[in-house]
Amino acid sequence: MDLLNTLVDKGLRREPPTRDEALAVLATSDDDLLDVVAAAGKVRRHWFGRRVKLNYLVNLKSGLCPEDCSYCSQRLGADTGILKYTWLKPDEASKAAAAGLAGGAKRVCLVASGRGPTDRDVDRVSDTIKTIKEQNEGVEICACLGLLSDGQAERLRGAGADAYNHNLNTSEATYGDITKTHTYADRVDTVQKAHAAGLSACSGLIAGMGETDEDLVDVVFALRDLDTDSVPVNFLIPFEGTPLAKEWNLTPQRCLRILAMVRFVRPDAEVRIAGGRELHLRTLQPLALHLANSIFLGDYLTSEGQAGKADLEMIADAGFEVETTEQVTLPEHRRAGGCGSVCGSTDTSVCGSTDTEVPAAEAEVPEARTDLVAVRRRGAGTDLAPNA
């Protein structure tokens, strides 16, 4: 397929595809799916080999969020039955992190519900970062605390944080349809604050909220323009009690096409399979490793994930290896300060045609797998061992 050959060539040169080319990836048929995975896999292996980076979530504060994000089980007024607790103490958070690190995780993501941290919250999280780093040599710490105020990113960096996560989630055009209590621009501002403070910027999306192909391409191109180092790709977990509980729009094949499109648009960025992979990729999860070079290990914030042991077996069986603390995730040119918002030539005579059209497969509504949505009942905030 000429489209895929063009995209591979561009990916190896760090040259972005056109918007039409990205849309064409999402429109490919199931008959072409393995060709799409193989093509994007060449780009993934060129920049990241066969390494898989493991990340582990620690939910520092669960539930009771004043924001109204339609997809979130912790949203204002949601009756989802999730665990609710206030801030974990530094030693409690460090103990929770240790379980994931023992399972092979390289990065610990410290997450707290809420609109954004107060200065006291930043102090609290800073103490937690220091405690985890003192007790675990070589660990990376990513904080995810919501919208940042001026100076807070610098304080987190000073405490030892390596990265900051704040997802754009969907396109600017449709953001107001899923959240009313803050704006898309607020999210962009926080990613820029993290980047300016010297933190590795981590920002991604949620697929499966009823968005169009154009929305998906728009948000991934926006992430490219922000030059984020890592891109978590979440697949909506339709929690009962949220406005999006009935949104079951994804098939395993659709998820793979989305991951492939992200890889072509962000060839040298860390692409991470995040929440919802077990629900929507199901038995095709190993194929997704040919597209993404990073996953979360075990459970998520408020839902149960695949057992950590099963994750490790899946990685080994698929012929990949877990990235160690001695190995550096990002390519050297990105570690040196990033490649800018646009890489490679912008001459259309080099980039190729922008009018590639691939017929879309006939859409079928998948059967809702509500049996796969499981509320987390162990790990942080409980007396039970985590699923790491």
Catalytic sites, residue numbers: 65, 69, 72, 109, 142, 202, 272
Distance CA 335, CA 30 (A): 36
Return the residue matching tokens 């390289």: 106
233 and 274 Cβ atoms separated by less than 8 Å: yes
The answer to whether the beta carbons of residues 231 and 271 sit under 8 Å apart is yes
Strand partners, 110: 58, 143
Give, in order, the Cα–Cα distances in Å from 81 to each of 59, 112, 271, 349, 374: 16, 18, 31, 55, 10
CA distance 344 to 347: 9
Distance CA 267, CA 224 (A): 10
Contacts with 306 (C-beta within 8 Å, 6 or more apart), sequence order: 277, 278, 285, 298, 314
**Distance in angstroms between the alpha carbons of the first and the last residue of the chain:** 41
Distance CA(297)–CA(61), nearest Å, equals 19
Name the residue among 377, 382, 374, 385 with its Cα closest to residue 305: 374
In the chain, how long is the greatest CA-to-CA distance?
A: 61
φ/ψ (deg, to 5) at 26 = -70, -20
